[in-house]
A and B are shown apart, each in its own frame.
Chain A
Amino acid sequence: MNKISSVFQDKKAFIPFVTAGDPSLAITKELVLSMAKAGADLIELGIPFSDPVAEGPVIQEADYRALAGGVTTDKIFAMVEELRKECRIPIAFMTYINPIYTYGVEVFMANCRTAQVDAIIVPDMPYEEKEEIKPLCDQYGITIISMIAPTSKERIHRIAKEAEGFLYCVSSMGVTGVRSELGSSADAMIAQVREVTKIPCAIGFGISTPEQAKAMAEIADGVIVGSAIVRLVGEHGEACVPYVTDYVRRMKEACNQCQ
């Protein structure tokens, strides 16, 4: 069991997402530290991309803000290295294939190892294309998090069998962003996963309220929340840390309620 899978042992994991560099890397570092203290089990850290096609407007805006502020992949690596002096919470980078490919896959993975980044989530790299980075991820010990979606159907078995760390289950159709109604397909998707593997499943896309988090934690091993947090960061800017911390605490409590 690797460091990522162990996050899900004996508890429902809460996984918050923030875009690195929004509103600044200093705040991102503070956010990670205080989210960890507030009960987050794993942090998803977005490396902003100019054209994030899997994101809804909230995270798109965060990416634009971060890039406009001069954030680069190098500066993000440096920030995580600093962070590691204080905190060992598992971290997964969430970014698109181009920032990894253009940076150089090997350098990227080597830097991930140096900064002790544990995993990587690449929404525009489906099962068929994962060989693009897998050999170097394996070499440097970086876990690739695979995704399944409501349209995956017969693909789920194949993807789940080869998945590592945890399986990212996309709750509903479309891009990231808060939804009042979550799709009803997560239950069936996870049942399909369970036919072939015991890998932990975390549900993401659309979750924002403690009620939704609790409901999703009932059927999965973890809950991922992005846009709701990024929206708080967008609203409060430099002053966002206490708001986000409080939100993460409430969401983690909601996850705990279903044990």
Chain B
Amino acid sequence: MKNGRFGVHGGQYIPETLMNAVIELEKAYHHYKEDVEFTLELEDLLKNYAGRPSLLYHAKKMTEDLGGAKIYLKREDLNHTGSHKINNVLGQVLLAKKMGKTRVIAETGAGQHGVATATAAALLGLECEIFMGKEDTERQALNVYRMELLGAKVHTVTSGTQTLKDAVNETLREWTKRVEDTHYVLGSVMGPHPFPMIVRDFQNIIGKEVKEQLLEKEGRLPDALLACVGGGSNAMGLFYEFIPDTKVRLIGCEAAGLGVDTDKTAATMSTGSMGIFHGMKSYFCQDEYGQIAPVYSISAGLDYPGIGPEHANLHDTGRAEYVPVTDQEAVDAFEYLARMEGIIPAIESAHAVAYARILAPTMGKDQIIVINLSGRGDKDVAAIARYRGVQLYE
């Protein structure tokens, strides 16, 4: 047990059929990460296509309103395709192309990762198929059409709970059927090694930029970093650069759904236990027999019963904290940020905004919080209207 461990977590628990594919991927990744041409190509795509660096915005009104720590928003919502997902996807699809793959497949929950993958595949000329749970295709119907517009084929997954975890199952199954010419663009810091490492490295640009931007604006490091966590890619992207800076608090905000004391929750750290699933040892929502629990959150992107293995280790070592945020708190924060700053956050990112509303007032005015605004909320407007009982006619 040595491959891709974060403490005891991680590993490569996948069918034998896929083992050579992940071994080949790891080799290719280590090769291209040192390759000047690859690095320049990716930098060019991130800058001139995705629109990086993303802004670090001082939320003055929110800061004044909460009356505590100074709040900055890392505006990943302004990236092309509307979320941080593009950072990882451009890296992986470019890597797949260099490896000679002609087809990419991916799972998606809210649709952000699927849209980003379809986008990169269109740009780089690869065939693309996306797997999405039936429940998610309904709550995120616009994103399904968006992916199709981009030339991707969208498969509706009807097995199991018909959400993100089942989309991952189906994408893994598809990969075992056709692995030779196909790369699985995993969307989060999860799955078998080397995915948690690759996705973290491609998302690491978020934290690197934050550090640079904040040093320029404030001449110092932040006191706390806040990000929502499902699988945990935007959080890992923000946190990783700051892990050695032990005075910076790293706080992951989990989707508590209707509450951690109910069975309608997706808060893995608060309610889960150690297990091995989707290729990795980590924490999972499950019963005493290791059956994965049906989870729930208003946010399709956080509606996942596990969390990436590096987060599990940051939790074990106490380096990062993980807090539950309910649907209600997230929806309130969604509306709060819209009215306060004129920014509509993704319902996923609204979980981090919600916790900032609790945390900031307890901190001093000389302290700084950075919230990762991982995505924009256009995709969620209809669902929030429904949550509030508003009928929309299009």
Contact = CB atoms under 8 A, between A and B. Distances in A.
Co-complex (A, B): yes
A54 B17 CA distance: 10
Nearest to B171: A53
Nearest to A125: B13
A173 B290 contact: no
A151 B17 contact: yes
Interface string A59-71: 0100010010000
A60 B178 contact: no
B276 A50 contact: no
Contacts of B276: 97-98, 101, 124, 132
A199 B271 CA distance: 45
A152 B290 contact: no
B291 A49 contact: yes
A50 B14 contact: no
Contacts of B14: 124, 126
Interface stretch (A33-41, A109-117, A142-150, A230-238): A142-150
B19 A175 contact: no
Nearest to B17: A149
B169 interface: yes
A209 interface: no
A152 B11 contact: no
Interface in A69-88: 72-74
A227 to B, nearest CB: 14
B275 A173 contact: no
A98 B1 CA distance: 16
A173 B292 contact: no
Contact of A53 (B20, B173, B275, B281): B173
B11 A124 contact: no
B159 interface: yes
B20 A126 contact: no
A99 to B, nearest CB: 4
Contact of A98 (B3, B179, B275): B275
A103 B172 contact: no
Contact of B292 (A98, A125, A150, A153): A98
A194 B21 CA distance: 24
Contacts of B18: 151
B176 interface: yes
A155 B19 contact: yes
A150 B173 CA distance: 15
A227 B254 CA distance: 39
Given A98-B275, A129-B12, A174-B173, A73 B20 contact: no
A57 B159 contact: yes
Interface string B11-48: 11111111111000000000000000000000000000
Interface in B165-209: 165-166, 169, 172-173, 176-180
Contact of B172 (A53, A127, A131): A53
Given A50-B291, A73-B289, A99-B290, A151 B179 contact: yes
A31 B1 CA distance: 38
Contact of B20 (A123, A125, A147, A151): A151
Given A53-B169, A173-B178, A102 B20 contact: no
A173 B21 CA distance: 13
Given A98-B284, A174-B177, 12 more contacts: A49-B290, A53-B169, A60-B159, A98-B286, A98-B290, A102-B288, A103-B288, A103-B289, A124-B279, A126-B12, A127-B19, A148-B16
Interface of B: 1, 3, 11-21, 159-160, 165-166, 169, 172-173, 176-180, 273-279, 281, 284, 286, 288-292
21 contacts: A49-B290, A53-B278, A64-B160, A98-B284, A98-B290, A102-B273, A124-B13, A126-B12, A126-B19, A128-B1, A128-B11, A129-B13, A132-B276, A147-B15, A151-B17, A151-B18, A152-B19, A152-B20, A170-B17, A173-B178, A174-B17
Interface of A: 49-51, 53-54, 56-57, 60, 64, 67, 72-74, 96-103, 123-129, 131-132, 147-153, 155, 159, 170, 173-175
Q: Which 7 A-B pairs have the closest CB atoms?
A: A102-B290, A174-B177, A149-B17, A98-B290, A99-B290, A50-B291, A50-B292
